[in-house]
Amino acid sequence: MPTDSATRTVEVAAPFADVLATIRDVEGQVDWIPEILEAELLEVYEDDDLPATARFKASATVGTDEYTLSYEHTDNTMSWTMVEGRMQTGQEGCYTLVELDPQRTSVTYELTIHHNLPLPGFIRQRVINGLVGSTLDGLQQHFVAAV
């Protein structure tokens, strides 16, 4: 079973709290992640109302995928693992934020996808790098558009 991973860090021109709130608004991800077609928050943690599980429908190079993620949170991260999926056999990811100054935030996005797709490694790597890149580009543009 192939496993593909990518990591990228960008600077977002927005306050730390705003960026973290945007990332944690999983239903709002359809507005800034080009590949996300639908997002439904299924469950929140009772103690802090942060996302616990969510279901997604996303476009991919090889078709449309549907999957459910389970989330964990710290003061500066949101990480997840896949509970179930159609095309993927597993997924782990994490956003890690660092406040650079009151109006700039560094965001590192790590993504690992497990699947059974019979594609050459260089194509799979291009796909996952593209997913990570378009997600972070979308996040940056979300805050540019908000100004």
Q: What is the pLDDT along the chain (147 residues), one digit of tens a residue?
A: 688 999 999 999 999 999 999 999 999 999 999 999 999 999 999 999 999 999 999 987 777 889 999 999 999 999 999 999 988 899 999 999 999 999 999 999 999 999 877 777 777 788 888 899 999 999 999 999 766
pLDDT score at 147: 60
pLDDT score at 127: 82
Neighbours of 80 (CB within 10 A): 21
pLDDT score at 116: 77
**What are the residue ranges spanned by the domains of the chain?**
3-146
**Could you name the CATH architecture of 3-146?**
2-Layer Sandwich (3.30)
Distances (CA, A) of 54 to 10, 13, 15, 45, 73: 25, 27, 25, 12, 14
- CA-CA-CA-CA torsion for 83, 87, 91, 93, nearest 10 degrees? -110
pLDDT score at 54: 98
